[in-house]
Chains A and B, each alone.
Chain A
Amino acid sequence: MAEEAVIPSTASESLEQQDEEFSVASQWRLMWWRFRRHKLALIAGVILALFYATFPLSEFIGIGDPALNFTKLSFLRPQPIRFFDDSGFNPHVNAVESYRDKVTFKPGFRTVEDERVPVGFFVKTWEYSFLGFIKTDRHLIGISDPADLAKRPSLYILGSDSLGRDQFSRLMLSTRISLSIGLVGVAISLIIGIVLGGISGFYGELVDTIIQRIIEIIGGVPTLPLWMGLSAAVPQDWAVMQVYFAITVILSIFGWTGMARVVRGKFFQLREEDFVMSARIAGASEGRIMFIHMLPSFYSHIIASISLSIPGMIIGETALSFLGLGLRAPAVSFGIMLQEAQNPSTVALYPWLMFVAVPVIIIVLAFNFLGDGLRDAADPYG
């Protein structure tokens, strides 16, 4: 039996208490004991939790107004915040001034060492709606003196783009849009996948044959050209939210097939299990067998396969937007920000615009590690 392996080994507990704890441990407890031994997955889970925790707080954490164009400070390189000076704790940034190189005529910025812009916490700067309906202008960090705001609307800790918009604030909003597209897209494919896969696996025979052939046909179509075709068909005059939902639906058109296969396979496997037959003989209804006996036996697997398919969705959205076929400005997403970074001059002169690739890589890797850990823990009885 593999179960012994997951007995917690806390030395302070007596063996008997430990045995009793193990005996009454439900499926989720056993899964958790197994999952927490997977350190990398645990760390990945914490990182993702932090990313998702920024969802309602994007604007609060964001320093400058992400939609504000301030061309006087376009292509400003990332500006570090200095927390200490000679007199102790005194957060500030150094002021910058623009100049033009006399030889190359290239515009640039230089730091004015002795002119300091004070930085404060919980300051009032630009206005936004917290959670979409509470109007406020409080921010975690920002320029504390309103007089300075006119000269410099943000701290630019990740620099600014060609229109002088604060890259950090834009990145915060992108995280929200891109990560939620992953969630919504997976939710849609999950619903289609469970329903069709469930029908396929529960009834079998002809229904199963038809659904499986449809899945094979969809699987045979190359993904990117179809995505491109479908997104090109999204009307130009649609609002940002409409385009957003259209893109998630386009992404889930392919996403559901994998889920449907997982669900169908599990149904086939479970239909033959003795405990399902035992429930039938006990007189349990079909609904009870399906929802009390079969579904709980595989939703841990579904969670694992969800966490492995979310990064595919995020990458899909990023790829579409990068090609100019996904979301469109004024929306911001990882793909849109990367699109703005896709030229040689960026690589040569403004490399900080490519920073957006870093959270994409971290998120995708974290989802993969988390998914691996969940998959290993998904069947504590195996």
Chain B
Amino acid sequence: MAEATVETTNTTESGTLLEVNNLVKHFPIQKGFLKRTVGSVRAVDDVSFSVTQGKTLGLVGESGCGKTTTSRCILRAIDPTSGQILFRKEDGETVDVATMPYQPLRDLRRDMQMIFQDPYGSLNPRMSLFDIVGEPLLVHGMKSSSERADRVAELLRLVGLRPEYMRRFPHAFSGGERQRIGIARALALNPRLVVADEPVSALDVSVQAQVINLLQEIQESLNLTYLFVAHDLSVVRHIADEVAVMYVGKIVELGDTEKIFANPKHPYTSALLSSVPIPDPSVRQDRIILQGEVANPANPPSGCYFHPRCEYATDQCKTEEPQLELIDEGRWVSCHHAKDLDLTGLSAK
């Protein structure tokens, strides 16, 4: 990918809001009384991608593949080990979030916000809606309580809740309503990038659709950019313009959503896609059942991390690590055989 540096601003192509370059996050494994570091979990291992202003990038993968860690690094909720996270501010200046000191980072929080997976754990049960939704406003300098109340009312209306609920506490709401509260809180500061970490996976299917539609409506009206982390591919197909597929801390395939769903190039992507149920009894589905376990990120296999489970693996895959390569317009795949394999239609015959 483009070798952008911080010093030279505006090297990112116009329209790109967020560009992640070679992001790495290792968690040290410590043992014994003196906490010696005996190894590390490579939760995010050299990940690069970019998100275009106003678009949605879906980040998909199995549990434990590093999607959540990636999203938290981008917001600096945890500090990345290395790599760049370039964010283009409203005035056009590009900043590196990964190495930003505390104070400017705090100001930048206005521009990037997060929607959490768990609508129960992410709202402080001891605060009323007014305090929950109004907190970002308060800590960013809106001291007047009546101003905050007006803004909170506006936000609650935006997410489809009645402003009269402002004095209520989260325990009075259902999961879907709580997620709307979480969205209202994320939108309080008028962010430009919203990182949604599996925002609907904790909800009932009927409520999922409502929340997804709400997110889409808000995106259109506020011109938001989403990084949408999910493991549910049908949700991602619905909302994302582009998809990045992660496996054991690495991106294995990146490209336009429809192209990836129609014609996966990486064997892992095609296996993932085959797991999506098709709501049509006349379609015969041949599921690709992967053998073996997900690779251990503390002790990954040699060569291509996916080779122990890949039916197309060759000797080259066992020794040589594939790089993310551009194989088609806007289509990046990390597989030695990406050009030779035809995986089209494997998922639905």
Question: What is A's interface to B at a CB cutoff of 8 Å?
Answer: 1, 3, 19, 22-27, 30, 205-206, 209, 273-275, 277-285, 288, 293, 296-297, 381
Contacts and interface: CB of A to CB of B under 8 A. Distances in A.
Interface stretch (B163-171, B245-253, B293-301): B163-171
Interface of B: 33, 35, 72, 75, 77, 106-107, 109-110, 113-114, 116-118, 121-126, 128, 135-136, 139-140, 165, 167-169, 171-172, 182, 185, 188-189
A278 B122 contact: yes
A247 B142 CA distance: 50
13 contacts: A24-B128, A26-B169, A27-B126, A275-B124, A277-B122, A278-B122, A278-B185, A279-B135, A280-B77, A281-B113, A283-B110, A288-B139, A297-B126
Contacts of A282: 109, 113, 135-136, 139, 185, 188-189
Given A275-B123, A277-B77, A293-B124, 10 more contacts: A23-B168, A24-B172, A275-B121, A275-B122, A278-B185, A280-B77, A281-B77, A282-B113, A283-B140, A296-B126
Nearest to B116: A274
A280 B140 CA distance: 12
Contacts of B168: 23-24
A22 B172 contact: yes
Most buried by B among A19, A22, A274: A274
Nearest to A286: B102
Contacts of A283: 106-107, 109-110, 136, 139-140
Contacts of B72: 277
Contact of B171 (A273, A274, A381): A381
Contacts of B121: 273-275
The A interface, classified by DSSP as helix, strand, loop or mixed, is helix
A278 B171 contact: no
A284 B138 CA distance: 9
A274 B167 contact: no
Nearest to B135: A282
A223 to B, nearest CB: 27
A253 B167 CA distance: 44
A278 B77 CA distance: 9
Contacts of A296: 126
B346 to A, nearest CB: 38
Nearest to A27: B126
A273 B182 CA distance: 15
A273 B120 CA distance: 10
Nearest to A272: B121
Contacts of B75: 281
B173 to A, nearest CB: 8
Nearest to B112: A281
A280 B169 CA distance: 21
Contacts of B171: 1, 3, 22-23, 30, 381
Contacts of A23: 165, 168-169, 171-172
Given A281-B109, A281-B114, A296-B126, A24 B135 contact: no
Contact of B139 (A205, A277, A284): A284
B205 to A, nearest CB: 19
B145 to A, nearest CB: 15
A253 B188 CA distance: 48
Given A27-B126, A278-B116, A297-B126, A285 B139 contact: yes
A256 to B, nearest CB: 24
A30 B167 CA distance: 15
Contacts of B169: 23-26
A284 B113 CA distance: 13
Contacts of A273: 121
B207 to A, nearest CB: 15
B162 to A, nearest CB: 12
A283 B136 CA distance: 7
Contacts of B106: 283
A278 B114 contact: yes
Q: Which of the listed residues B123, B139, B188, B189 has the most CB atoms from chain A within 10 Å of its own CB?
A: B139
Contacts of B139: 282-285, 288
A26 B182 CA distance: 19
4 A-B pairs closest in CB distance? A23-B172, A274-B122, A282-B136, A274-B121
